[in-house]
Amino acid sequence: MIRPATDADFSAFAPIMRGAILTHGPKAYSDAECASWIEGVRRDLFLRGRDEGQVFLSAGPVGAPQGFCSYLGASLVGLYVSPEAMGHGLGSALLEAAEVEMRGAGSPQSLTAALNSEGFYAERGWVTTLHKPHLTRGGLTITVADMQKA
């Protein structure tokens, strides 16, 4: 079940994001890069995003989501699924729900993907437009992919 995130969901977002990065990040990044990527990932990071206008969607029960995504206008900001729930279609469902909502915000729809998730988005009709450096919260630079919905 994909639904708007509630205040009760925000405490689960940081553990979901850290778990997803530590599970799948090493497919494209070193351990040090993954550690730098997750530095500073806490509940207040997501609350600040919400206060700045990001819309958050959750997958799963209120207060215990198994995945989430956020977008701002026509840009997907992030999409993460807990390692235990991966492979059951939650990421695809979150992405589809966000795409429907972002369509009303303008075109083209865009996102910046970690290299380990670039294939996930490509399989769902997103096209890489640029690989570029991205400074993580921990201070290391990783390569990411700018993508647009085809």
pLDDT value for 117: 97
Computed over its alpha carbons, how large is the radius of gyration of the chain? 14
pTM assigned to the model = 0.94
- Residue 104's pLDDT is 82
12 vs 104: which has the higher pLDDT: 12
* Contact predicate 114/73, CB 8 Å: no
Domains and CATH numbers, the chain: 2-106 (3.40.630.30)
pLDDT at position 106 is: 73
What are 101-140's pLDDT values in tens digits?
A: 999 887 789 999 999 999 999 999 999 999 999 999 999 9
Burial class (CB in 10 A: 0-12, 13-18, 19+), 13: buried
Sign of CA dihedral 93, 66, 13, 130: negative
Sheet holding 141-149, edge to edge: 2-4, 55-59, 67-72, 75-81, 110-114, 141-149, 126-135
pLDDT for the residue numbered 138 = 96
What band does 69 get if pLDDT is binned at 50, 70 and 90? very high
20-45 residue pLDDT tens: 999 999 999 999 999 999 999 999 99
The answer to whether the CB of 126 falls within 8 A of the CB of 111 is yes
For helices 31-38 and 10-24, angle between their N-to-C axes, nearest 10 degrees: 170
Look up tokens 């850290």; give the residue.
18
User: Is residue 9 a contact partner of residue 65, using CB atoms and an 8 Å limit?
Assistant: yes
Q: What is the mean pLDDT of residues 50-55?
A: 96
Quote the mean pLDDT of the chain: 95
Q: What is the pLDDT of residue 91?
A: 96
